[in-house]
Amino acid sequence: MIELKNVSVTYRGGVKALRNLDLTIDDGEFVVVVGLSGAGKSTLLRVLNGLVPATEGSAKVDGIEVVGASNATLRMVRSRIGMIFQTFNLAERTTVLNNVLMGRLAMVPSWRSTFGLWPAADREIAMQALERVGIVEKTYVRASNLSGGQQQRVGIARALAQQPTLMLADEPVAALDPVTSRQVMGDLARINSDLGITTLINLHFLDLAQEYGRRLIGLRDGELVFDGDIADVDDDTFREIYGRSITAGDVLADTDT
Amino acid sequence: MTATVPPDERHEGAPAGRPERPVGPLVARAVVFVIIAGAFAWGASGLDASWARLRSAPGDGWAIFRLMWPPDFATELDRGVIGKVLESVYIAWIGTILGAAISLPLAFLASNNVSPSFIRLPIRQLFNAIRAVPELIVAVILIAITGLGPWAGALAIGLHSVGTLGKLSSEEIESSDRGPVEAVEACGGRWISRVRWGILPQVMPVIISYWLFRFEVNVRASAVLGMIGAGGVGAELISQLNFRNFPEVGAVLIITIAVVIFIDTISSAVRKRIIAGGAGDDQSRMAVLFGDLVGHRGG
Amino acid sequence: MTADSSAPEPAAPGGPGGRPKKPRRKPLTLVVVVGLVLWTWFTGRQVGFDLTTFIDLWTNPLWEKFWPVPWEWVLDRDNVIDPLVETFQIAVVATVVGCGLALPVSFAMSRLTTPNGGTYWVTRVVMNIVRAVPDLFWAKLLVTAVGIGAFAGTWALSIFSLAVMVKLFSETIDGADPRPLEAARAAGGRHVPSVRAGVLPTVLPSYVAYSLYIFELNIRASIVLGLVGAGGIGRVIEAQRQYFRFGRILGVLLIIFVVVFVIEQISVALRRRLV
C-alpha cells in the first residue's frame, strides 16, 4: 500500500519536479506511469524509496513514512522495495550471481557481504530469482559479457532477490530493442501476477503501456493529469499528458513476439 | 598547421565574402614563443654553459661511454652485482606494496562520491604534500633516523607512492559510474556496501594497473636510492664511478638496464591484460590510462 | 504480503532448472596468488621489513634536532635562494631541450607517422634503453664526464625528459585519427608536410599538456640532482646532511615544499585549461 499526500519535490537550483501529488496504490497493482521526459516520472519512483527526498508532503510505503525518515528506517524500507534501472546499473566486472546477491545486502551482515561470504540461504534466494527470469545458466558469467536484455534480467533478479513487496522500474526497456523490450515487460507482468508484488513502471511507449498496464498514471510538469483505467485512455487523455496528438514515434515498432 | 594558402589570396581587402585571417591565434603563438624563449635564455644564463663547454660536452660524454667498452662483467659478478640489482627490485616491490596498501583506503576517503568534504580535503592536501617531496629527500631524512639500509629505502618509496597512487586512484573513483552505487542504495545497502559492490569492482582493474605502473617507476627510484646509501645497485655504481673503473661501470649499467627493461615489459603486458579484461577496447583504455597519468581525461 | 517469504529449499544435487556448477578457480590464478604472496614475504625479509620502525621513528630523539629551524641562515640569499633559482633554471632548460627534441623523435617513433621501419625500430630501442637508466644515474655519469655542477645536471635531465616525453607523446600519436594524414598523402603531400598538416594539429594539445607535466617532473628531479653533484638545491641538502645540521635541512625542505606546491598548482591549472 502506497500513500502519497501533497508530495512536492524541488531540486537544488529551484527546479520543481513534483507538485502537490496525491496518490494511492493498493497492494498487487500493476501501474504504468507515463509522461514527457522531465515530467517527474523518475522523481516519483525515487521519492518512494527515498533516493530523492521529498521537500514537502508525506509518502507512506506499507504504512512507514519515508519523508524525513532516518537512515536506518530508509534502509529498512529500501530493503523491501526492488528497483530496476534504465541503464541496468550492474557491477559489470563481477559475476551475475554477485550482482543478484546485492539484493540481499540489507539482510546480510556487512562484514559477510564485504568479503563475499554470502550465507547459503541467500545464495539460494539469488538462484531462485535467476531461475524466475530464466537466465540461471549465466550465474557465474561476468555481467559485462551479457547482452542488454540479459543484463536487465539480472537487474530484475537482483530486485527479486530482495523479496520485495513493491517493485519500481524506471524506464526498464528504454535501452532495449523491441523484441527484448516485450520479453522484459512480460517478465515484469508475470512476476506481478505470480507473486502479487505491487509494480510501478515508468514507460515512454504508449502501446507497451496499453499492452501490459492496468492502471495508468499521467504526469505533466510534475502534476498528476491522469489517473485511471488504461481502457479509458483516448486521444484526449494523450493530449492532456503530452500536450500534442499521438504520433508514430510514441509507439514501439510493431514486432512479432 | 593550417593548409597553406596561396599568397595572392592572403593580401588585405580579400574578395567579398572571404573572412580576414584572424590574428588572435597568431599573436597567442608569438607570445607563447617569446615566453618559452625568454625562460630558456634566463635558465641557460645561470648554468655556466659557455660555447666551449657546449661544444666539448658531447665529446666528453661519448668518451666516457667509449671507456666503458668492453664492460667488465667478471669483476662485477664477483662483487655480487646481481644481488644488488635484486635488492633494488625488492625495495621497489615492498615500497609499492606499502604504497598500494596505504593509498587504497585513503583514496576512497579522498573521493567526493564516497566521503564528506571535511575528511576529503585534508587527505587530498596530504597527497599533494607527499608528492611535493621527492622520495630521495624522504630517504635522506629516514636514513638519518633509522640508519642506512634497504628498509629505509622501501619506507621512503612507499611513503612517496602513497601520494601519487592516492591521487590517481581517487580520481578514478570519482569518475566511476554512479549507477551501481544507486543500485546498492536502492537495495538498502550501507556505506561499506556502496564502496565494496558499487565502486570497487568498477575501479579495481585500473587501480591495479596504476600499482604496476608505480612499481616500474619505483624500480628506477630504488636503484637511485642506493646512491645515497639506502641499499641497492646505486651504491655500486657510485663507488665504481668514483674510482673511475669504467668497464665495471659499463657492466653495472648494462645489468641495470636489462633488469629494468625486463620488468617494464612484463609489467606493461600484465597491465594491458588487466585493463583489457573489462568492457571496452584495449587501445582506448590505455589512452585513458595515460591521460590519467598526466592529469587529464580522455586524452 | 511478501510473496516469496517461505524459507528457500536447498538446491537438489545436480541443481534444478539447469543451474550451472560453480566453476572451479583456474589453477593458474591460484599459482599466481600464492606466488605473489610468497614473493612479497621473501622480498619483505630481504629488505628487513619491520613495522616497529614506525614506532621507533616517532620516538626517535633525533627529531628534536630538526628544530628550531635557523630561519636566518635559510633565508640568506647565498645559502638557499640562489641554489633554488639554479634548480629552476636547470628544470626550465631541460624541459625546453628535452621536449623540443622529443617532437621530431616522437613522430619517428610512432607507427602512424614514422618515415620507415628502420627509423621506427632504431629510435624505439635507443629510447627504451635511455629510459631504463634512472635519471640520477645519468646525472652521475655526466658529472663524471663534464664536471661537477648544474651543466651536467641539465644534460642529464634533458636526456631523461626526452626519453619520457617521447614515450608518452608517441603513444598519443599512435592513437591519433589517421584519416587526415591519409587525406594529405592522397593529395600528394611529401612525408613531413603531410604529418605536419594531418597529425600535428590533433596531437598538439596533448604535447603541450605533456610538456607541462614533464616540467613538473623536472622540478622535482632537479631538486635531488645536487645529491650527486649535479647542481641545484640538492647540493645544499647534501652538504648539511654531512654535518647533521637537520634544522637547516628542514628549513630548506619547507621552502622547497612551498615552491614546488605553488608551481604544481599553476601547472595543473594550465593543463586543465588546455584539455
Q: What is the pLDDT of residues B255-276, one digit of tens each?
A: 999 999 999 889 988 888 887 7
Position of cell 666551449?
Answer: B52
Is B202 within 8 Å of A92 (Cβ atoms)? yes
Burial environment of residue A194 by CB neighbours within 10 A (0 to 12, 13 to 18, 19 or more): exposed
Least confident of A55-69, A243-257, B66-80: A243-257
Is C230 within 8 Å of C143 (Cβ atoms)? yes
Q: A195 and chain C: CB distance < 8 Å anywhere? A: yes
CA distance A237 to A246: 10
Q: Where are the domains of chain C?
A: 69-274
C: neighbours with 3+ CB pairs under 8 Å? Answer: A, B
For A42, the grid coordinates are 523518475
Q: Is the peptide bond before C68 cis (omega within 30 degrees of 0)?
A: yes
The answer for residues whose C-beta is within 8 angstroms of residue C186's C-beta and 6 or more apart is none
CA distance A17 to A37: 11
Those residues of chain A whose CB sits closer than 8 Å to some CB in chain B are 49, 51, 74-79, 81, 83, 85, 87-94, 98, 102-106, 110, 113-114, 144, 155, 158, 162, 168
Residue A73, CA atoms < 13 Å, CB-side half-sphere: 13
- In whole numbers, what is the pLDDT of chain A averaged over residues? 90
Question: Can you give the pLDDT at residue A254?
Answer: 53
Q: Where are the domains of chain A?
A: 2-250
A73, closest residue in chain B (CA to CA)? B188
Strand duo A81-84 + A166-170: pairing: parallel
Are residues A137 and C19, on separate chains, in Cβ contact within 8 Å?
yes
Q: Give me the residue from A62, A121, A136 closest to C19, CB to CB.
A: A136
Those residues of chain B whose CB sits closer than 8 Å to some CB in chain A are 177, 179-180, 182-190, 192-193, 196-198, 201-202, 204-205, 277-279
Q: B198: distance to nearest CA of chain A, Å?
A: 6
Q: What is the pLDDT of residues C171-207, one digit of tens each?
A: 889 888 888 888 888 888 888 888 888 888 889 888 9
Q: What is the pLDDT of residues C238-249, one digit of tens each?
A: 888 888 788 888
pLDDT-flagged residues of chain B (< 50)? 1-3, 5, 9-10, 278-299
On whether the B75-274+282-293 domain is CATH 1.10.10.60, my answer is no
Are residues A124 and C5, on separate chains, in Cβ contact within 8 Å?
no
Chain A residues with beta carbon closer than 8 angstroms to that of B183? 83, 85, 89-90, 102, 155, 158
Is B224 within 8 Å of C137 (Cβ atoms)? yes
**CATH hierarchy code of domain C69-274:** 1.10.3720.10
Question: Can you give the pLDDT at residue B289?
Answer: 45
pLDDT-flagged residues of chain C (< 70)? 1-17, 275
Amino acid symbol at C17: G
Chain C residues with beta carbon closer than 8 angstroms to that of B53? 146, 151
Question: Can you give the pLDDT at residue C1?
Answer: 40
User: A29 pLDDT exceeds 90?
Assistant: yes
B191, closest residue in chain A (CA to CA)? A110
Residue A160 banded pLDDT, cuts 50, 70, 90? very high
Which of A105, A122, A145, A158 is the best residue to mutate to test the B interface, defined by the most B CB atoms within 10 Å of its own CB?
A: A105
Q: What is the mean pLDDT of residues A154-173?
A: 94
Residues 198-257 of A with CB under 8 A from C: none
Question: Can you give the pLDDT at residue C29?
Answer: 80
Amino acid symbol at B290: F
CA distance C80 to C232: 10
B10-43: b (≥16 Cβ within 10 Å) or e: eeeeeeeeeeeeeeeeeeeeeeeeeebeebbeeb
Q: Give me the residue from A139, A160, A194 closest to C20, CB to CB.
A: A139
**CATH hierarchy code of domain A2-250:** 3.40.50.300
